Structure 1
Amino acid sequence: MASVADNLARVSARIRDAAVRSGREARDVRLVLVTKTIEPERVREAVAAGQRDLGENKVQEGRGKAEALAGDAVRWTMIGHLQSNKVKDVLRFAEEVQSLDRLSLTATLDKRLQHLGRGLDVLVQVNTSDEASKYGLHPDEVAAFLKELAAFNSLRPRGFMTLARFTPNIAEVRRCFRVLRDIRDRAMDDAPQGEALRHLSMGMSGDYEIAIEEGATIVRVGQAVFGPRPLPDSHYWPGAAGVG
Protein backbone atom coordinates (compact mmCIF):
# COMPACT_ATOMS: atom_id res chain seq x y z
CA MET A 1 0.00 0.00 0.00
CA ALA A 2 1.39 3.41 -0.98
CA SER A 3 2.16 5.81 1.83
CA VAL A 4 0.36 9.09 2.40
CA ALA A 5 3.50 10.92 1.29
CA ASP A 6 3.70 8.88 -1.93
CA ASN A 7 0.03 9.49 -2.73
CA LEU A 8 0.41 13.19 -2.00
CA ALA A 9 3.38 13.39 -4.35
CA ARG A 10 1.37 11.59 -7.05
CA VAL A 11 -1.57 13.98 -6.68
CA SER A 12 0.77 16.98 -6.73
CA ALA A 13 2.32 15.72 -9.97
CA ARG A 14 -1.10 15.31 -11.55
CA ILE A 15 -2.05 18.81 -10.45
CA ARG A 16 1.11 20.11 -12.07
CA ASP A 17 0.43 18.25 -15.32
CA ALA A 18 -3.18 19.43 -15.45
CA ALA A 19 -2.08 22.99 -14.79
CA VAL A 20 0.39 22.79 -17.68
CA ARG A 21 -2.36 21.48 -19.95
CA SER A 22 -4.44 24.54 -19.05
CA GLY A 23 -1.56 26.94 -19.73
CA ARG A 24 -0.67 27.56 -16.09
CA GLU A 25 1.86 26.46 -13.50
CA ALA A 26 1.45 24.19 -10.47
CA ARG A 27 1.71 27.17 -8.12
CA ASP A 28 -1.46 28.56 -9.71
CA VAL A 29 -3.50 25.72 -8.16
CA ARG A 30 -3.88 25.30 -4.40
CA LEU A 31 -4.48 21.84 -2.96
CA VAL A 32 -6.78 21.65 0.06
CA LEU A 33 -6.31 18.20 1.56
CA VAL A 34 -9.66 16.89 2.79
CA THR A 35 -9.15 15.13 6.13
CA LYS A 36 -12.69 13.99 6.93
CA THR A 37 -12.74 10.67 8.85
CA ILE A 38 -8.93 10.59 8.86
CA GLU A 39 -7.23 10.31 12.24
CA PRO A 40 -4.78 13.08 13.19
CA GLU A 41 -1.77 10.74 13.04
CA ARG A 42 -2.31 10.09 9.33
CA VAL A 43 -3.01 13.75 8.64
CA ARG A 44 0.31 14.54 10.31
CA GLU A 45 2.02 12.26 7.76
CA ALA A 46 0.77 14.59 5.03
CA VAL A 47 1.88 17.64 7.00
CA ALA A 48 5.33 16.09 7.41
CA ALA A 49 5.40 15.66 3.62
CA GLY A 50 4.82 19.39 3.17
CA GLN A 51 1.03 19.78 3.03
CA ARG A 52 -0.21 22.91 4.82
CA ASP A 53 -3.80 23.47 3.62
CA LEU A 54 -6.32 21.16 5.30
CA GLY A 55 -10.09 21.04 4.85
CA GLU A 56 -12.94 19.67 6.93
CA ASN A 57 -16.65 19.15 6.29
CA LYS A 58 -17.93 18.76 9.85
CA VAL A 59 -17.34 21.48 12.45
CA GLN A 60 -16.96 19.19 15.45
CA GLU A 61 -14.53 16.91 13.64
CA GLY A 62 -12.57 19.85 12.34
CA ARG A 63 -12.27 21.51 15.71
CA GLY A 64 -11.06 18.32 17.38
CA LYS A 65 -8.54 17.64 14.65
CA ALA A 66 -7.26 21.22 14.73
CA GLU A 67 -6.69 20.88 18.47
CA ALA A 68 -4.83 17.60 17.95
CA LEU A 69 -2.58 19.21 15.34
CA ALA A 70 -2.24 22.53 17.15
CA GLY A 71 1.56 22.35 17.09
CA ASP A 72 1.74 22.00 13.32
CA ALA A 73 1.93 24.91 10.88
CA VAL A 74 -1.33 24.31 8.99
CA ARG A 75 -4.27 26.33 7.70
CA TRP A 76 -7.79 24.97 8.13
CA THR A 77 -10.64 25.51 5.70
CA MET A 78 -14.32 24.73 6.28
CA ILE A 79 -15.56 23.14 3.06
CA GLY A 80 -18.85 21.58 4.18
CA HIS A 81 -22.29 23.05 4.74
CA LEU A 82 -22.19 25.39 7.73
CA GLN A 83 -25.11 25.88 10.09
CA SER A 84 -25.40 29.31 11.68
CA ASN A 85 -25.41 27.83 15.18
CA LYS A 86 -21.93 26.37 14.50
CA VAL A 87 -20.30 29.68 13.56
CA LYS A 88 -18.70 30.24 16.95
CA ASP A 89 -17.09 26.81 16.86
CA VAL A 90 -15.92 26.97 13.26
CA LEU A 91 -14.15 30.28 13.87
CA ARG A 92 -12.09 28.61 16.59
CA PHE A 93 -10.07 26.81 13.93
CA ALA A 94 -10.97 27.81 10.37
CA GLU A 95 -9.26 30.63 8.52
CA GLU A 96 -11.48 30.20 5.48
CA VAL A 97 -15.06 29.12 4.74
CA GLN A 98 -15.77 27.85 1.23
CA SER A 99 -19.50 27.22 1.70
CA LEU A 100 -21.06 30.67 2.08
CA ASP A 101 -24.52 30.27 0.56
CA ARG A 102 -27.05 32.53 2.29
CA LEU A 103 -27.39 35.95 3.89
CA SER A 104 -28.40 34.62 7.30
CA LEU A 105 -25.07 32.78 7.58
CA THR A 106 -23.26 35.85 6.27
CA ALA A 107 -24.77 38.04 8.98
CA THR A 108 -23.98 35.52 11.73
CA LEU A 109 -20.38 35.16 10.60
CA ASP A 110 -19.92 38.92 10.34
CA LYS A 111 -21.35 39.57 13.79
CA ARG A 112 -19.05 37.03 15.40
CA LEU A 113 -16.03 38.24 13.46
CA GLN A 114 -16.72 41.83 14.48
CA HIS A 115 -16.76 40.65 18.09
CA LEU A 116 -13.44 38.86 17.59
CA GLY A 117 -11.90 41.77 15.72
CA ARG A 118 -10.78 39.67 12.78
CA GLY A 119 -11.63 38.94 9.17
CA LEU A 120 -12.31 35.75 7.23
CA ASP A 121 -11.68 34.60 3.68
CA VAL A 122 -14.86 33.20 2.13
CA LEU A 123 -15.96 31.57 -1.11
CA VAL A 124 -19.54 31.68 -2.33
CA GLN A 125 -20.98 28.22 -2.95
CA VAL A 126 -22.95 27.83 -6.18
CA ASN A 127 -25.15 24.86 -7.13
CA THR A 128 -24.02 24.50 -10.74
CA SER A 129 -25.59 21.06 -11.20
CA ASP A 130 -29.08 22.28 -10.24
CA GLU A 131 -29.58 19.29 -7.94
CA ALA A 132 -32.00 19.70 -5.05
CA SER A 133 -29.76 17.51 -2.87
CA LYS A 134 -26.91 20.03 -2.99
CA TYR A 135 -26.40 23.29 -1.17
CA GLY A 136 -25.40 26.54 -2.81
CA LEU A 137 -26.90 29.50 -4.59
CA HIS A 138 -28.62 29.10 -7.93
CA PRO A 139 -26.41 30.73 -10.58
CA ASP A 140 -29.07 33.38 -11.18
CA GLU A 141 -28.89 34.43 -7.51
CA VAL A 142 -25.16 35.11 -7.38
CA ALA A 143 -25.04 38.69 -8.65
CA ALA A 144 -27.62 39.94 -6.14
CA PHE A 145 -25.94 38.01 -3.32
CA LEU A 146 -22.58 39.63 -4.05
CA LYS A 147 -24.14 43.09 -3.83
CA GLU A 148 -25.56 42.25 -0.40
CA LEU A 149 -22.28 40.66 0.66
CA ALA A 150 -20.41 43.93 0.09
CA ALA A 151 -22.00 45.38 3.24
CA PHE A 152 -20.27 42.86 5.55
CA ASN A 153 -16.82 44.29 6.13
CA SER A 154 -15.28 41.42 8.09
CA LEU A 155 -15.78 38.94 5.26
CA ARG A 156 -13.25 38.82 2.43
CA PRO A 157 -14.87 37.21 -0.63
CA ARG A 158 -12.20 35.46 -2.71
CA GLY A 159 -14.26 33.63 -5.31
CA PHE A 160 -16.59 30.66 -5.70
CA MET A 161 -16.96 26.96 -4.89
CA THR A 162 -19.02 24.19 -6.47
CA LEU A 163 -19.46 20.43 -6.67
CA ALA A 164 -19.98 18.99 -10.13
CA ARG A 165 -22.67 16.42 -10.76
CA PHE A 166 -21.51 12.91 -9.80
CA THR A 167 -21.70 11.19 -13.16
CA PRO A 168 -19.46 9.30 -15.61
CA ASN A 169 -20.55 11.85 -18.22
CA ILE A 170 -17.40 13.97 -18.44
CA ALA A 171 -19.13 16.54 -20.63
CA GLU A 172 -21.65 17.19 -17.85
CA VAL A 173 -18.86 17.47 -15.26
CA ARG A 174 -17.09 20.01 -17.46
CA ARG A 175 -20.36 21.91 -17.95
CA CYS A 176 -20.72 22.36 -14.18
CA PHE A 177 -17.19 23.70 -13.91
CA ARG A 178 -17.67 26.03 -16.87
CA VAL A 179 -20.83 27.44 -15.31
CA LEU A 180 -18.82 28.45 -12.26
CA ARG A 181 -15.99 29.86 -14.36
CA ASP A 182 -18.45 31.99 -16.32
CA ILE A 183 -20.00 33.24 -13.06
CA ARG A 184 -16.53 34.16 -11.81
CA ASP A 185 -15.62 35.97 -15.01
CA ARG A 186 -18.80 38.04 -14.97
CA ALA A 187 -18.45 38.81 -11.28
CA MET A 188 -14.90 40.07 -11.70
CA ASP A 189 -16.25 42.58 -14.22
CA ASP A 190 -19.53 43.52 -12.54
CA ALA A 191 -19.56 42.71 -8.81
CA PRO A 192 -18.48 45.19 -6.10
CA GLN A 193 -15.63 42.87 -5.11
CA GLY A 194 -14.18 42.83 -8.64
CA GLU A 195 -10.75 41.25 -9.08
CA ALA A 196 -10.80 39.83 -5.54
CA LEU A 197 -13.21 37.13 -6.77
CA ARG A 198 -10.65 35.32 -8.91
CA HIS A 199 -10.60 31.94 -7.15
CA LEU A 200 -12.49 28.84 -8.27
CA SER A 201 -12.69 25.93 -5.81
CA MET A 202 -13.87 22.98 -7.85
CA GLY A 203 -12.76 19.42 -8.28
CA MET A 204 -12.33 16.54 -5.83
CA SER A 205 -10.56 13.17 -6.00
CA GLY A 206 -12.61 11.92 -8.94
CA ASP A 207 -12.48 15.02 -11.11
CA TYR A 208 -9.79 17.44 -9.92
CA GLU A 209 -7.73 17.18 -13.11
CA ILE A 210 -10.78 18.07 -15.21
CA ALA A 211 -11.51 20.96 -12.86
CA ILE A 212 -7.99 22.33 -13.29
CA GLU A 213 -8.32 22.08 -17.07
CA GLU A 214 -11.49 24.17 -16.72
CA GLY A 215 -9.80 26.85 -14.60
CA ALA A 216 -9.84 25.69 -10.97
CA THR A 217 -7.44 27.56 -8.70
CA ILE A 218 -8.31 25.38 -5.68
CA VAL A 219 -8.99 21.63 -5.61
CA ARG A 220 -10.28 19.64 -2.62
CA VAL A 221 -8.76 16.16 -2.57
CA GLY A 222 -8.94 13.50 0.13
CA GLN A 223 -9.42 9.91 -1.00
CA ALA A 224 -6.71 10.13 -3.66
CA VAL A 225 -4.25 10.71 -0.81
CA PHE A 226 -5.75 8.82 2.15
CA GLY A 227 -7.68 6.07 0.38
CA PRO A 228 -11.39 5.16 0.56
CA ARG A 229 -13.36 6.32 3.59
CA PRO A 230 -15.36 4.09 5.93
CA LEU A 231 -18.43 6.31 5.48
CA PRO A 232 -19.95 7.18 2.09
CA ASP A 233 -19.37 10.69 0.81
CA SER A 234 -23.12 11.31 0.96
CA HIS A 235 -22.61 11.55 4.73
CA TYR A 236 -20.59 14.70 4.06
CA TRP A 237 -21.48 15.90 0.55
CA PRO A 238 -25.15 15.47 -0.35
CA GLY A 239 -25.45 14.19 -3.88
CA ALA A 240 -21.70 13.63 -4.30
CA ALA A 241 -21.05 10.05 -3.19
CA GLY A 242 -17.67 8.74 -4.17
CA VAL A 243 -15.99 11.89 -5.46
CA GLY A 244 -14.42 13.50 -2.37
Structure 2
Amino acid sequence: MKRLPFISALLISTFLFACAGSNVVTNGENGTHPSEDAILWQQTSAEYKALCYQAFNAAKIRIEMIESGQSDMAVTDNMAVIMDLDETVLDNSPYAVKMMREGKRYSEESWTEWVNKKEAELVPGAQDFITFLYEKGINVIFISNRDVSLIKPTIQNLAKYGIEAGPDNLFLKASNTKEERRNKLTSYSIAMLIGDNLADLDALFEEKLDLKQRDKLVNTEFSDEFGRRLIILPNPLYGDWMDALERTARKREDQLNLLKSY
Protein backbone atom coordinates (compact mmCIF):
# COMPACT_ATOMS: atom_id res chain seq x y z
CA MET A 1 0.00 0.00 0.00
CA LYS A 2 1.37 3.37 -0.94
CA ARG A 3 1.70 5.86 1.86
CA LEU A 4 -0.87 8.64 1.53
CA PRO A 5 1.03 11.90 0.97
CA PHE A 6 -1.51 14.11 2.69
CA ILE A 7 -0.98 12.36 6.02
CA SER A 8 2.67 13.36 6.25
CA ALA A 9 1.71 16.82 5.10
CA LEU A 10 -0.78 17.06 7.91
CA LEU A 11 1.84 16.12 10.45
CA ILE A 12 4.23 18.83 9.34
CA SER A 13 1.53 21.32 8.45
CA THR A 14 2.13 24.56 10.21
CA PHE A 15 -1.46 25.61 10.66
CA LEU A 16 -4.94 24.23 10.84
CA PHE A 17 -7.67 26.78 10.23
CA ALA A 18 -10.85 26.00 12.09
CA CYS A 19 -14.15 26.86 10.57
CA ALA A 20 -17.57 25.91 11.87
CA GLY A 21 -16.95 28.10 14.89
CA SER A 22 -14.11 25.98 16.22
CA ASN A 23 -11.10 27.57 17.84
CA VAL A 24 -8.03 28.22 15.75
CA VAL A 25 -5.51 25.46 16.31
CA THR A 26 -1.79 26.08 16.17
CA ASN A 27 1.14 23.98 17.30
CA GLY A 28 3.37 25.82 19.69
CA GLU A 29 5.49 28.31 17.83
CA ASN A 30 4.65 26.67 14.49
CA GLY A 31 1.91 27.51 12.09
CA THR A 32 1.09 29.78 9.18
CA HIS A 33 -1.32 28.13 6.72
CA PRO A 34 -3.23 24.91 5.99
CA SER A 35 -1.47 21.96 4.43
CA GLU A 36 -1.41 22.20 0.65
CA ASP A 37 -1.62 18.43 0.27
CA ALA A 38 -4.59 18.22 2.64
CA ILE A 39 -6.51 20.76 0.56
CA LEU A 40 -5.46 19.10 -2.70
CA TRP A 41 -6.62 15.74 -1.38
CA GLN A 42 -10.05 17.04 -0.38
CA GLN A 43 -10.64 18.93 -3.63
CA THR A 44 -9.08 16.58 -6.19
CA SER A 45 -8.84 12.99 -4.94
CA ALA A 46 -11.40 10.40 -5.94
CA GLU A 47 -10.67 8.70 -2.62
CA TYR A 48 -12.13 11.64 -0.69
CA LYS A 49 -15.33 11.44 -2.70
CA ALA A 50 -15.46 7.66 -2.30
CA LEU A 51 -15.18 7.93 1.49
CA CYS A 52 -18.02 10.45 1.59
CA TYR A 53 -20.25 8.23 -0.55
CA GLN A 54 -19.31 5.26 1.61
CA ALA A 55 -20.36 7.11 4.78
CA PHE A 56 -23.72 8.18 3.38
CA ASN A 57 -24.37 4.73 1.89
CA ALA A 58 -23.79 3.21 5.33
CA ALA A 59 -26.24 5.73 6.76
CA LYS A 60 -28.86 4.72 4.18
CA ILE A 61 -28.41 1.06 5.06
CA ARG A 62 -28.93 1.89 8.73
CA ILE A 63 -32.23 3.62 7.94
CA GLU A 64 -33.36 0.72 5.75
CA MET A 65 -32.53 -1.75 8.52
CA ILE A 66 -34.63 0.25 10.98
CA GLU A 67 -37.52 0.28 8.51
CA SER A 68 -37.30 -3.46 7.91
CA GLY A 69 -37.20 -4.32 11.60
CA GLN A 70 -33.56 -5.47 11.52
CA SER A 71 -32.54 -2.97 14.18
CA ASP A 72 -33.18 -2.50 17.88
CA MET A 73 -34.83 0.81 16.99
CA ALA A 74 -38.46 1.05 15.97
CA VAL A 75 -39.81 3.27 13.21
CA THR A 76 -41.60 6.32 14.62
CA ASP A 77 -43.22 9.43 13.17
CA ASN A 78 -40.71 11.58 15.04
CA MET A 79 -37.59 9.77 13.84
CA ALA A 80 -34.70 12.13 13.07
CA VAL A 81 -31.12 12.21 11.85
CA ILE A 82 -28.77 14.79 13.35
CA MET A 83 -26.13 16.18 11.00
CA ASP A 84 -23.26 18.61 11.40
CA LEU A 85 -22.91 21.17 8.60
CA ASP A 86 -19.32 22.11 7.76
CA GLU A 87 -17.39 19.32 6.04
CA THR A 88 -20.44 17.11 6.60
CA VAL A 89 -22.99 18.84 4.37
CA LEU A 90 -21.17 21.99 3.21
CA ASP A 91 -17.68 21.90 1.67
CA ASN A 92 -15.60 24.86 2.85
CA SER A 93 -12.33 23.90 1.20
CA PRO A 94 -12.42 27.03 -1.05
CA TYR A 95 -12.04 29.09 2.12
CA ALA A 96 -8.97 27.03 3.02
CA VAL A 97 -7.52 27.62 -0.44
CA LYS A 98 -7.94 31.37 -0.12
CA MET A 99 -6.30 31.44 3.31
CA MET A 100 -3.42 29.32 2.02
CA ARG A 101 -2.82 31.47 -1.06
CA GLU A 102 -2.91 34.67 0.96
CA GLY A 103 -0.74 33.23 3.74
CA LYS A 104 -3.40 34.03 6.30
CA ARG A 105 -4.81 32.28 9.33
CA TYR A 106 -8.43 31.60 10.09
CA SER A 107 -10.21 34.67 11.46
CA GLU A 108 -13.82 35.36 12.33
CA GLU A 109 -13.79 38.22 9.82
CA SER A 110 -12.59 36.15 6.86
CA TRP A 111 -14.81 33.22 7.83
CA THR A 112 -17.87 35.49 8.03
CA GLU A 113 -16.99 36.92 4.62
CA TRP A 114 -16.88 33.39 3.16
CA VAL A 115 -20.17 32.30 4.77
CA ASN A 116 -21.93 35.45 3.55
CA LYS A 117 -20.99 34.56 -0.02
CA LYS A 118 -23.26 31.50 0.29
CA GLU A 119 -21.05 29.70 -2.22
CA ALA A 120 -20.20 26.51 -0.33
CA GLU A 121 -20.96 23.45 -2.43
CA LEU A 122 -22.17 20.18 -0.94
CA VAL A 123 -20.04 17.32 0.33
CA PRO A 124 -20.31 14.38 -2.11
CA GLY A 125 -23.37 12.27 -1.32
CA ALA A 126 -24.92 14.74 1.12
CA GLN A 127 -27.73 15.98 -1.11
CA ASP A 128 -28.74 12.49 -2.20
CA PHE A 129 -28.81 11.29 1.41
CA ILE A 130 -30.86 14.24 2.65
CA THR A 131 -33.31 13.76 -0.24
CA PHE A 132 -33.50 10.08 0.75
CA LEU A 133 -34.51 11.14 4.27
CA TYR A 134 -37.08 13.64 2.99
CA GLU A 135 -38.70 10.97 0.82
CA LYS A 136 -39.05 8.70 3.85
CA GLY A 137 -40.50 11.45 6.02
CA ILE A 138 -37.53 11.43 8.38
CA ASN A 139 -36.66 14.68 10.13
CA VAL A 140 -33.27 16.21 9.33
CA ILE A 141 -31.76 18.30 12.12
CA PHE A 142 -28.59 20.35 11.72
CA ILE A 143 -26.41 21.16 14.73
CA SER A 144 -23.42 23.32 13.84
CA ASN A 145 -20.83 25.39 15.63
CA ARG A 146 -21.29 28.18 13.12
CA ASP A 147 -22.04 31.32 15.08
CA VAL A 148 -25.74 32.05 15.44
CA SER A 149 -25.19 35.42 13.72
CA LEU A 150 -24.58 33.48 10.47
CA ILE A 151 -27.97 31.77 10.43
CA LYS A 152 -29.42 33.74 7.48
CA PRO A 153 -26.63 33.10 4.92
CA THR A 154 -26.40 29.50 6.14
CA ILE A 155 -30.10 28.93 5.45
CA GLN A 156 -29.76 30.60 2.05
CA ASN A 157 -26.71 28.52 1.12
CA LEU A 158 -28.54 25.29 1.97
CA ALA A 159 -31.68 26.43 0.14
CA LYS A 160 -29.70 26.64 -3.11
CA TYR A 161 -29.62 22.84 -3.01
CA GLY A 162 -33.20 22.31 -1.87
CA ILE A 163 -32.20 21.65 1.73
CA GLU A 164 -34.72 22.94 4.22
CA ALA A 165 -33.33 24.73 7.27
CA GLY A 166 -34.92 27.06 9.79
CA PRO A 167 -35.45 27.70 13.50
CA ASP A 168 -37.01 24.26 14.03
CA ASN A 169 -34.17 22.19 12.61
CA LEU A 170 -31.06 24.40 12.47
CA PHE A 171 -29.22 24.96 15.74
CA LEU A 172 -26.12 27.14 15.55
CA LYS A 173 -23.74 28.07 18.34
CA ALA A 174 -24.60 30.74 20.88
CA SER A 175 -22.70 29.73 24.01
CA ASN A 176 -23.77 26.15 24.63
CA THR A 177 -22.17 22.87 23.64
CA LYS A 178 -23.52 20.60 20.94
CA GLU A 179 -24.70 18.18 23.61
CA GLU A 180 -26.80 20.88 25.23
CA ARG A 181 -28.46 21.50 21.88
CA ARG A 182 -28.95 17.77 21.31
CA ASN A 183 -30.57 17.44 24.73
CA LYS A 184 -33.30 19.85 23.68
CA LEU A 185 -34.49 17.43 21.02
CA THR A 186 -36.45 15.26 23.45
CA SER A 187 -39.46 15.05 21.15
CA TYR A 188 -37.44 13.19 18.50
CA SER A 189 -36.28 9.61 18.21
CA ILE A 190 -32.67 9.96 17.01
CA ALA A 191 -31.75 7.30 14.46
CA MET A 192 -28.16 8.43 13.95
CA LEU A 193 -25.67 11.27 14.18
CA ILE A 194 -23.42 12.28 11.29
CA GLY A 195 -20.35 14.53 11.38
CA ASP A 196 -16.69 14.99 10.49
CA ASN A 197 -15.52 15.50 14.08
CA LEU A 198 -16.09 13.12 16.99
CA ALA A 199 -17.61 15.93 19.07
CA ASP A 200 -20.41 15.99 16.49
CA LEU A 201 -21.40 12.55 17.70
CA ASP A 202 -21.15 12.41 21.50
CA ALA A 203 -20.64 14.71 24.48
CA LEU A 204 -17.65 12.71 25.74
CA PHE A 205 -15.61 14.05 22.83
CA GLU A 206 -16.42 17.64 23.75
CA GLU A 207 -14.22 17.24 26.82
CA LYS A 208 -10.59 18.40 26.70
CA LEU A 209 -9.09 15.00 25.95
CA ASP A 210 -5.60 13.97 24.93
CA LEU A 211 -4.85 11.50 22.14
CA LYS A 212 -4.91 8.39 24.33
CA GLN A 213 -8.21 9.32 25.91
CA ARG A 214 -9.84 9.86 22.51
CA ASP A 215 -8.39 6.59 21.20
CA LYS A 216 -9.68 4.69 24.23
CA LEU A 217 -13.21 5.98 23.72
CA VAL A 218 -13.16 5.13 20.01
CA ASN A 219 -11.63 1.68 20.52
CA THR A 220 -13.80 0.60 23.45
CA GLU A 221 -17.04 2.46 24.02
CA PHE A 222 -17.88 3.42 20.43
CA SER A 223 -16.19 0.98 18.05
CA ASP A 224 -19.41 -0.95 17.39
CA GLU A 225 -21.39 2.24 16.77
CA PHE A 226 -19.46 3.56 13.77
CA GLY A 227 -21.17 2.79 10.49
CA ARG A 228 -24.39 2.23 12.41
CA ARG A 229 -25.66 4.87 14.82
CA LEU A 230 -22.60 7.06 14.34
CA ILE A 231 -21.31 8.09 10.89
CA ILE A 232 -18.01 9.96 10.49
CA LEU A 233 -16.87 11.74 7.32
CA PRO A 234 -13.28 12.52 6.28
CA ASN A 235 -11.85 15.95 7.07
CA PRO A 236 -8.09 16.41 6.53
CA LEU A 237 -8.22 20.18 7.09
CA TYR A 238 -9.04 20.75 10.77
CA GLY A 239 -10.56 19.14 13.83
CA ASP A 240 -10.38 18.45 17.54
CA TRP A 241 -7.66 15.85 17.00
CA MET A 242 -5.19 18.71 16.68
CA ASP A 243 -6.21 20.06 20.07
CA ALA A 244 -5.71 16.57 21.48
CA LEU A 245 -2.30 16.35 19.82
CA GLU A 246 -1.21 19.60 21.44
CA ARG A 247 -2.49 18.49 24.85
CA THR A 248 -0.42 15.34 24.47
CA ALA A 249 2.74 17.03 23.18
CA ARG A 250 2.95 20.76 22.64
CA LYS A 251 6.31 21.01 20.90
CA ARG A 252 6.59 19.82 17.31
CA GLU A 253 9.63 17.70 18.17
CA ASP A 254 7.65 15.89 20.86
CA GLN A 255 4.71 15.40 18.51
CA LEU A 256 6.90 13.83 15.86
CA ASN A 257 8.35 11.52 18.51
CA LEU A 258 4.86 10.04 18.90
CA LEU A 259 5.13 8.56 15.41
CA LYS A 260 5.90 4.86 14.99
CA SER A 261 8.69 3.74 12.72
CA TYR A 262 10.76 0.59 12.31
TM-score, normalising length: structure 1: 0.37
TM-score, normalising length: structure 2: 0.35
Bigger RCO of structures 1 and 2 (CA < 8 A, at least 6 apart): 2
